Amino acid sequence: MLEPVRFSTYHGGSRKEGYLDFSASLNPYPPEWLDEMFERAKELSNRYPYYEELEEGLGELVGGQVTITAGITEALYLLGTLALRGRKVVIPRHTYGEYERVARIFGAEVVNGPNEPDKLAELVERNSVVFFCNPNNPDGRFYRVKELKPLLDAVEDRKALLILDEAFIDFVKDADSPEGENIVKLRTFTKSYGLPGIRVGYVLGFSEAFRSVRMPWSIGSTGLAFLEFLLRDGFEHLRRTMPLIWREKERLEKELNVKSDANFFIKRVGNAKEFAEALKGHGILVRDCTSFGLPEYVRFSVRRPEENGRLIEAFRKLGEGF
Protein backbone atom coordinates (compact mmCIF):
# COMPACT_ATOMS: atom_id res chain seq x y z
CA MET A 1 0.00 0.00 0.00
CA LEU A 2 2.81 2.41 0.88
CA GLU A 3 5.97 2.21 -1.21
CA PRO A 4 9.31 3.71 -0.08
CA VAL A 5 10.97 6.46 -2.08
CA ARG A 6 13.76 4.93 -4.15
CA PHE A 7 16.25 7.70 -3.56
CA SER A 8 18.35 8.16 -0.44
CA THR A 9 20.97 10.59 0.79
CA TYR A 10 23.81 10.31 3.26
CA HIS A 11 24.68 13.00 5.76
CA GLY A 12 27.96 13.57 7.59
CA GLY A 13 28.49 13.81 11.31
CA SER A 14 29.68 11.14 13.71
CA ARG A 15 27.25 8.46 14.81
CA LYS A 16 29.82 6.99 17.19
CA GLU A 17 31.57 8.38 20.24
CA GLY A 18 35.33 8.46 20.64
CA TYR A 19 36.41 9.92 17.29
CA LEU A 20 37.70 13.38 16.43
CA ASP A 21 34.99 14.36 13.97
CA PHE A 22 36.03 16.37 10.91
CA SER A 23 33.10 15.00 8.86
CA ALA A 24 30.60 17.61 10.09
CA SER A 25 31.42 21.19 9.10
CA LEU A 26 30.64 23.07 12.31
CA ASN A 27 32.00 25.96 14.33
CA PRO A 28 34.26 24.18 16.87
CA TYR A 29 33.77 26.96 19.43
CA PRO A 30 30.45 26.72 21.35
CA PRO A 31 28.75 29.89 22.63
CA GLU A 32 29.74 30.96 26.13
CA TRP A 33 26.07 31.02 27.13
CA LEU A 34 25.39 27.39 26.21
CA ASP A 35 24.80 26.12 29.77
CA GLU A 36 22.46 29.02 30.54
CA MET A 37 20.57 28.31 27.35
CA PHE A 38 19.93 24.69 28.31
CA GLU A 39 18.72 25.78 31.74
CA ARG A 40 16.30 28.16 30.03
CA ALA A 41 15.15 25.30 27.77
CA LYS A 42 14.17 23.32 30.87
CA GLU A 43 12.03 26.25 32.01
CA LEU A 44 10.33 26.40 28.61
CA SER A 45 9.76 22.66 28.18
CA ASN A 46 6.39 22.59 29.95
CA ARG A 47 4.72 24.85 27.41
CA TYR A 48 4.16 24.99 23.65
CA PRO A 49 6.95 26.94 21.93
CA TYR A 50 5.51 30.00 20.22
CA TYR A 51 8.16 32.20 18.62
CA GLU A 52 6.40 34.92 16.62
CA GLU A 53 7.99 37.76 18.62
CA LEU A 54 11.42 36.15 18.32
CA GLU A 55 10.83 35.79 14.60
CA GLU A 56 10.28 39.53 14.36
CA GLY A 57 13.44 40.17 16.36
CA LEU A 58 15.47 37.88 14.11
CA GLY A 59 14.12 39.66 11.05
CA GLU A 60 15.33 42.98 12.46
CA LEU A 61 18.74 41.46 13.19
CA VAL A 62 19.29 40.02 9.69
CA GLY A 63 17.51 42.80 7.81
CA GLY A 64 14.47 41.13 6.27
CA GLN A 65 11.26 39.29 6.97
CA VAL A 66 12.08 35.73 8.01
CA THR A 67 10.38 32.40 8.59
CA ILE A 68 11.93 30.33 11.36
CA THR A 69 12.29 26.63 10.51
CA ALA A 70 13.79 23.49 12.02
CA GLY A 71 17.05 24.00 10.16
CA ILE A 72 17.27 24.18 6.39
CA THR A 73 15.89 20.65 6.14
CA GLU A 74 12.38 21.68 7.18
CA ALA A 75 12.56 24.59 4.75
CA LEU A 76 13.31 22.19 1.89
CA TYR A 77 10.21 20.15 2.62
CA LEU A 78 8.10 23.29 2.89
CA LEU A 79 9.42 24.19 -0.56
CA GLY A 80 8.24 20.80 -1.77
CA THR A 81 4.72 21.64 -0.66
CA LEU A 82 4.81 25.17 -2.06
CA ALA A 83 6.79 24.94 -5.28
CA LEU A 84 8.06 21.57 -6.49
CA ARG A 85 5.09 19.45 -7.51
CA GLY A 86 5.04 18.87 -11.25
CA ARG A 87 7.75 21.44 -11.99
CA LYS A 88 11.13 21.18 -13.62
CA VAL A 89 13.85 21.39 -10.98
CA VAL A 90 17.43 22.23 -11.95
CA ILE A 91 20.08 20.90 -9.54
CA PRO A 92 23.87 21.12 -9.94
CA ARG A 93 25.99 18.00 -9.83
CA HIS A 94 28.21 17.37 -6.81
CA THR A 95 26.12 19.26 -4.28
CA TYR A 96 23.89 18.62 -1.26
CA GLY A 97 21.87 15.47 -1.98
CA GLU A 98 18.73 16.48 -0.10
CA TYR A 99 17.68 18.83 -2.93
CA GLU A 100 17.17 15.94 -5.32
CA ARG A 101 15.60 13.70 -2.70
CA VAL A 102 12.98 16.34 -1.83
CA ALA A 103 12.34 17.07 -5.51
CA ARG A 104 11.71 13.40 -6.24
CA ILE A 105 9.49 12.95 -3.18
CA PHE A 106 7.27 15.74 -4.49
CA GLY A 107 7.20 14.41 -8.05
CA ALA A 108 9.31 17.06 -9.74
CA GLU A 109 11.25 16.53 -12.97
CA VAL A 110 14.93 16.70 -12.01
CA VAL A 111 17.55 18.03 -14.42
CA ASN A 112 21.20 18.00 -13.37
CA GLY A 113 23.74 20.48 -14.67
CA PRO A 114 27.22 21.89 -14.01
CA ASN A 115 27.82 23.64 -10.71
CA GLU A 116 28.69 26.88 -12.52
CA PRO A 117 26.22 29.80 -12.66
CA ASP A 118 26.69 30.64 -16.35
CA LYS A 119 26.27 27.03 -17.53
CA LEU A 120 23.44 26.28 -15.12
CA ALA A 121 21.62 29.36 -16.46
CA GLU A 122 21.27 27.64 -19.84
CA LEU A 123 19.02 24.99 -18.25
CA VAL A 124 16.58 27.44 -16.65
CA GLU A 125 13.13 27.35 -18.22
CA ARG A 126 9.98 29.35 -17.58
CA ASN A 127 8.50 28.56 -14.14
CA SER A 128 11.29 26.14 -13.28
CA VAL A 129 12.99 25.92 -9.87
CA VAL A 130 16.76 26.12 -9.46
CA PHE A 131 18.73 24.97 -6.42
CA PHE A 132 22.13 26.51 -5.80
CA CYS A 133 24.31 25.97 -2.73
CA ASN A 134 26.55 28.96 -2.02
CA PRO A 135 29.16 28.21 -0.73
CA ASN A 136 28.76 24.79 -2.23
CA ASN A 137 28.82 21.58 -0.26
CA PRO A 138 31.17 19.66 -0.53
CA ASP A 139 33.88 21.78 -2.24
CA GLY A 140 33.33 25.11 -0.41
CA ARG A 141 33.31 27.27 -3.57
CA PHE A 142 31.56 30.62 -3.07
CA TYR A 143 30.25 32.69 -5.98
CA ARG A 144 29.90 36.41 -5.40
CA VAL A 145 26.92 38.36 -6.73
CA LYS A 146 28.68 39.48 -9.91
CA GLU A 147 29.63 35.86 -10.62
CA LEU A 148 26.03 34.74 -10.06
CA LYS A 149 24.66 37.33 -12.50
CA PRO A 150 24.08 34.97 -15.49
CA LEU A 151 21.98 32.70 -13.28
CA LEU A 152 20.19 35.59 -11.60
CA ASP A 153 19.31 37.12 -15.00
CA ALA A 154 18.04 33.78 -16.34
CA VAL A 155 15.83 33.25 -13.31
CA GLU A 156 14.37 36.75 -13.57
CA ASP A 157 13.85 36.69 -17.35
CA ARG A 158 12.12 33.28 -17.33
CA LYS A 159 10.04 33.84 -14.19
CA ALA A 160 11.78 30.95 -12.47
CA LEU A 161 12.51 30.52 -8.76
CA LEU A 162 16.05 30.39 -7.34
CA ILE A 163 16.54 28.52 -4.08
CA LEU A 164 19.80 29.81 -2.65
CA ASP A 165 21.16 27.61 0.13
CA GLU A 166 23.44 29.79 2.24
CA ALA A 167 24.00 27.35 5.11
CA PHE A 168 27.72 28.13 5.28
CA ILE A 169 27.73 31.80 4.30
CA ASP A 170 28.75 32.93 7.80
CA PHE A 171 32.12 31.24 7.27
CA VAL A 172 32.90 33.26 4.11
CA LYS A 173 34.99 36.39 4.51
CA ASP A 174 33.19 39.54 3.34
CA ALA A 175 30.35 37.51 1.82
CA ASP A 176 27.71 39.18 -0.32
CA SER A 177 24.24 37.88 -1.19
CA PRO A 178 21.92 38.80 -4.09
CA GLU A 179 18.48 40.35 -3.75
CA GLY A 180 15.51 39.67 -5.99
CA GLU A 181 11.81 38.90 -6.11
CA ASN A 182 12.49 35.41 -7.48
CA ILE A 183 14.96 34.37 -4.79
CA VAL A 184 14.45 32.28 -1.65
CA LYS A 185 17.39 32.18 0.76
CA LEU A 186 17.85 29.31 3.19
CA ARG A 187 20.07 29.84 6.23
CA THR A 188 20.80 27.98 9.45
CA PHE A 189 22.50 28.47 12.81
CA THR A 190 23.36 24.79 13.23
CA LYS A 191 26.68 25.26 11.38
CA SER A 192 27.86 28.69 12.51
CA TYR A 193 27.00 28.10 16.17
CA GLY A 194 28.14 24.46 16.12
CA LEU A 195 24.79 23.14 17.37
CA PRO A 196 23.31 20.79 14.74
CA GLY A 197 21.07 19.06 17.27
CA ILE A 198 19.17 22.24 18.06
CA ARG A 199 17.69 22.48 14.55
CA VAL A 200 17.13 26.21 14.09
CA GLY A 201 17.27 27.95 10.73
CA TYR A 202 15.31 30.48 8.75
CA VAL A 203 14.05 31.43 5.29
CA LEU A 204 14.42 34.88 3.74
CA GLY A 205 11.70 35.57 1.18
CA PHE A 206 8.02 34.69 0.69
CA SER A 207 7.38 34.65 4.44
CA GLU A 208 3.59 34.58 4.16
CA ALA A 209 3.75 31.47 1.97
CA PHE A 210 6.27 29.61 4.15
CA ARG A 211 4.46 30.42 7.38
CA SER A 212 1.21 29.10 5.92
CA VAL A 213 2.58 25.55 5.53
CA ARG A 214 5.20 25.09 8.24
CA MET A 215 4.67 22.59 11.03
CA PRO A 216 3.53 24.09 14.37
CA TRP A 217 6.10 24.10 17.22
CA SER A 218 8.77 22.59 15.00
CA ILE A 219 11.82 23.82 16.91
CA GLY A 220 10.91 22.81 20.46
CA SER A 221 11.89 24.41 23.77
CA THR A 222 15.65 24.14 23.14
CA GLY A 223 15.34 25.94 19.82
CA LEU A 224 13.19 28.59 21.47
CA ALA A 225 15.79 29.13 24.19
CA PHE A 226 18.52 29.32 21.55
CA LEU A 227 16.67 32.08 19.72
CA GLU A 228 16.28 34.08 22.93
CA PHE A 229 20.01 33.93 23.59
CA LEU A 230 20.88 34.51 19.93
CA LEU A 231 18.98 37.79 19.88
CA ARG A 232 20.79 38.94 23.02
CA ASP A 233 24.07 37.83 21.50
CA GLY A 234 23.45 39.80 18.29
CA PHE A 235 25.97 37.59 16.38
CA GLU A 236 28.79 38.61 18.71
CA HIS A 237 29.77 34.95 18.96
CA LEU A 238 30.34 34.85 15.19
CA ARG A 239 32.39 38.05 15.22
CA ARG A 240 34.58 36.54 17.94
CA THR A 241 35.08 33.02 16.55
CA MET A 242 35.17 33.41 12.77
CA PRO A 243 38.67 34.99 12.76
CA LEU A 244 39.91 31.98 14.74
CA ILE A 245 38.45 29.64 12.11
CA TRP A 246 39.83 31.70 9.20
CA ARG A 247 43.31 31.58 10.70
CA GLU A 248 43.22 27.80 10.97
CA LYS A 249 41.67 27.55 7.51
CA GLU A 250 44.73 29.29 6.06
CA ARG A 251 46.97 26.87 7.93
CA LEU A 252 45.20 23.82 6.51
CA GLU A 253 45.30 25.29 3.02
CA LYS A 254 49.06 25.69 3.27
CA GLU A 255 49.82 22.36 4.97
CA LEU A 256 47.49 20.13 2.92
CA ASN A 257 47.47 21.99 -0.42
CA VAL A 258 43.70 22.56 -0.46
CA LYS A 259 41.50 25.60 -1.11
CA SER A 260 38.00 26.64 -0.07
CA ASP A 261 35.90 29.72 0.63
CA ALA A 262 34.10 28.03 3.54
CA ASN A 263 35.13 26.13 6.68
CA PHE A 264 35.66 22.78 4.96
CA PHE A 265 37.71 21.29 2.14
CA ILE A 266 37.73 18.38 -0.26
CA LYS A 267 40.95 16.58 -1.09
CA ARG A 268 41.69 13.92 -3.67
CA VAL A 269 43.04 10.80 -1.96
CA GLY A 270 42.44 8.00 -4.49
CA ASN A 271 39.97 5.61 -2.90
CA ALA A 272 37.95 7.77 -0.51
CA LYS A 273 36.31 4.87 1.30
CA GLU A 274 39.63 3.19 2.06
CA PHE A 275 41.27 6.46 3.06
CA ALA A 276 38.43 7.35 5.43
CA GLU A 277 38.69 3.92 7.04
CA ALA A 278 42.45 4.33 7.42
CA LEU A 279 41.95 7.68 9.16
CA LYS A 280 39.65 5.98 11.66
CA GLY A 281 42.74 4.08 12.77
CA HIS A 282 44.11 7.46 13.84
CA GLY A 283 40.88 8.27 15.69
CA ILE A 284 39.74 10.73 13.00
CA LEU A 285 36.52 10.89 10.98
CA VAL A 286 36.28 12.58 7.57
CA ARG A 287 33.48 12.49 5.00
CA ASP A 288 33.77 10.04 2.14
CA CYS A 289 32.44 12.07 -0.83
CA THR A 290 31.21 9.07 -2.83
CA SER A 291 27.60 10.09 -2.08
CA PHE A 292 28.34 13.43 -3.79
CA GLY A 293 29.53 11.55 -6.89
CA LEU A 294 33.18 12.12 -5.95
CA PRO A 295 34.54 8.69 -4.93
CA GLU A 296 38.17 9.85 -4.99
CA TYR A 297 37.66 12.72 -2.52
CA VAL A 298 37.20 13.18 1.19
CA ARG A 299 35.78 16.25 2.91
CA PHE A 300 37.01 17.61 6.23
CA SER A 301 36.27 20.69 8.27
CA VAL A 302 38.30 23.29 10.16
CA ARG A 303 38.54 22.58 13.87
CA ARG A 304 40.67 23.92 16.74
CA PRO A 305 44.45 24.30 16.30
CA GLU A 306 45.52 21.19 18.21
CA GLU A 307 42.87 19.10 16.47
CA ASN A 308 43.89 20.38 13.04
CA GLY A 309 47.45 19.44 13.93
CA ARG A 310 46.35 15.83 14.47
CA LEU A 311 44.62 15.82 11.09
CA ILE A 312 47.67 17.21 9.29
CA GLU A 313 49.90 14.60 10.90
CA ALA A 314 47.51 11.80 9.99
CA PHE A 315 47.38 12.93 6.36
CA ARG A 316 51.15 12.98 6.22
CA LYS A 317 51.46 9.48 7.66
CA LEU A 318 48.88 8.04 5.30
CA GLY A 319 50.18 9.92 2.28
CA GLU A 320 52.88 7.35 1.65
CA GLY A 321 50.32 4.58 1.32
CA PHE A 322 47.81 6.52 -0.73
Give the model confidence (pLDDT) of 187-198 as tens digits: 999 999 999 999
Instruction: Assess whether pLDDT exceeds 60 at residue 6.
Output: yes
Estimate to the nearest angstrom the gap between the alpha carbon of 42 and the chain centroid.
28
Can you tell me the distance from the alpha carbon of 261 to that of 171, in angstroms, rounded to the nearest whole number? 8
Query: What pLDDT, on a 0 to 100 scale, did the predictor assign at position 8?
Result: 56
- pLDDT tens for each residue of 152-185: 999 999 999 999 999 999 999 999 999 999 999 9
Of residues 296, 271, 272, 270, the one with CA closest to residue 285: 272
pLDDT in tens, 37-76: 999 999 999 999 888 899 999 999 999 999 999 999 999 9
pTM assigned to the model: 0.92
- Nearest-10 Cα torsion for 37, 63, 185, 38: 0
Q: Residue 233: how many CA atoms within 13 Å on its side-chain side?
A: 23
Closest by CA to 111, choosing from 95, 124, 97, is 124
Q: How far apart are CA 2 and CA 280, in angstroms?
A: 39
The proportion of the chain whose per-residue pLDDT surpasses 90, expressed as a percent, equals 90
Specify the pLDDT at position 15: 56
Given this model, what pLDDT does residue 51 score? Answer: 87
Give the Cα separation of 196 and 28 in Å (integer): 12
As a whole number, mean pLDDT of residues 95-119 equals 95
Nearest to 132 by CA among 185, 81, 208: 185
Residue 110's beta-bridge partner residues?
89
Report CA-CA distances (Å) from 165 to 18, 90, 153, 273, 314: 31, 14, 18, 27, 32
According to the model, what pLDDT value does residue 168 have?
A: 98
Sign of the CA dihedral 138, 147, 203, 107? negative
Instruction: Name the amino acid, one letter, at 23.
Output: S
CA 257 to chain centre: 24
Closest CA to 89 of 133, 132, 143: 132
Q: Indicate the pLDDT class of residue 2, thresholds 50, 70 and 90.
A: low
Check pLDDT > 70 for residue 98.
yes
Long-range (24+ apart) CB contacts under 8 A made by 291-295 are: 291/9, 291/10, 291/97, 292/94, 292/95, 292/97, 292/138, 293/93, 293/94, 294/94, 294/138, 294/266, 295/271
Residue 18 confidence class, pLDDT cut points 50, 70, 90: confident
Kind of pairing between the strands at 297-301 and 287-288: antiparallel
- Do residues 149 and 115 touch, judged by C-beta distance below 8 A? no
Lowest mean pLDDT among 2-11, 156-165, 307-316: 2-11
- pLDDT band per the 50, 70, 90 thresholds, residue 113: very high
In which band, very low, low, confident or very high, does the pLDDT at 215 lie, cut at 50, 70 and 90? confident
